[in-house]
Chains A and B, each alone.
Chain A
Amino acid sequence: MLSVQNVSKTYQSGGRALYVLQNINFIIEAGAIVAIVGPSGSGKTTLLGLSAGLDRSTTGTVALNEIPLDRLSEDERADMRNRYVGFIFQNFQLLPTLTALENVMVPLELRGEKNIRARSKDLLDKVGLADRIHHYPAQLSGGEQQRVSLARAFSNSPRILFADEPTGNLDAETSENVIKLLFDLNREAGTTLVIVTHNAELAGSTQRIIRLTGGHIISDEKK
């Protein structure tokens, strides 16, 4: 599903090269649930960005669904994300000017699909927000916002879901609920799940843990 081969990422900072990722290699099969862990500054989020086609690697190849992302244009990558990728962010990243329902509908609207309202409502119902569908993000709690984010991530039936610290902004109880919901929905949809997290408990509940330090993979444990 996701193939990362000899990937490096370098940024220019203050006139010198900053090596964020070096020679990263791994393959994630379809349907797998993988955690990427590591200390701050280890390159986790950069790796997630490259894997999801949000950025280009400096060297190496990232292939999603066997399509090399580096050869695609910006718009082709956007199209790719819309078709195959779902996202969950630490700070929810809902569109503040759209209601909960509209936020969930957007990925489907982008695909030009029909009857999306009913499907989106169903998803919001599944995450327990049936009575909050016309609320704006600012009118929802953090947990509710993340649940809308989950519904949005699954709305386009993605092949792969990237979650960046999905519980990083939530309290313990809410985190537990959100994680449960994430795994339930994932199981139901059969989606490949890649989670970047600091949360050891969350990482422990995945099938595979890739550990990063200083831009290198230091371990890749499969359970």
Chain B
Amino acid sequence: MAKYIVKRVFYMFITLFLIATATFFLMKTLPGSPISSASKLNPQQLAVVEAKYGLDQPLPVQYGKYMLNLVQGDLGNSYQFKGADVTDLIISRLGPSFILGAQGLILGVAIGIILGMIAALKQNTIWDYGSTFIAIIGISIPSFVFATFLQYWLAIKWELLPVALWDDGWKSSIMPSIALAMGPLATAARFIRTEMIEVLSSDYITLAKSKGASSFEVAFKHAFRNALIPLVTVLGPLAAGLLTGSLVIENIFAIPGIGEQFVKAIMVSDFSVIMGTTLFFSVFLIFVILVVDILYGIIDPRIRLSGGNS
């Protein structure tokens, strides 16, 4: 197991190197620079400022310098916030994003599993159709549309929750979390329904029934764990979806999270913040996928990872 994780971490660094390189050059193909988009300097002044930040040097040199700093753990300084350290900027924005993401994922997956179970156990009844309907809504309505609906009804019409911003404690997180949860909810519901129906018709379920197990025991003791396996597989992509979803949701609800900062950085070509955030997202995703792989083995003994051969 330890050997496996070490191997995975090694691959993670290679992946990160490739992502950093690709992002760096892609970003440099964008028109404009942090300076040109922000100010009305004349060409001479521009040249002076560019020289100061090293933006006048040839691309390979800039790339080499950036990577050298990156290896030492230095993500550079922001162009838009008067030389603020990018690492500090990201960390300062982590809190709200993390709360939203975790709440959205847990809420979505939990409710999705419940809906999927109900649908599978009460197949072809009104319960099944109801939960399938909710799942279809969750898949087909984009989160920003849903978020706007929530704002209109919950905040403006009924005045239950704050419309936006991050200044009312936990209450501020409720609506964005619900909006974020819709995607995972729909995915989990669909996966669990399909898989439960399949598992419930398998031989070992008949054997469990022939042992005298009640339908409740059959569903939760025998079928549920087996039905979870495919859902675990999509947890990784689901978490990725939450990241991109949060870019939109954080903007709609004006939440000071990483996503909102990321979008702003792209608008003003704040190279170092773009790079830093991309790398942070990558590390996060790779980590989630590693966790999913480990979870896999815990749920299904057949794919339990044994040291060395993976």
Whether chains A and B associate is no
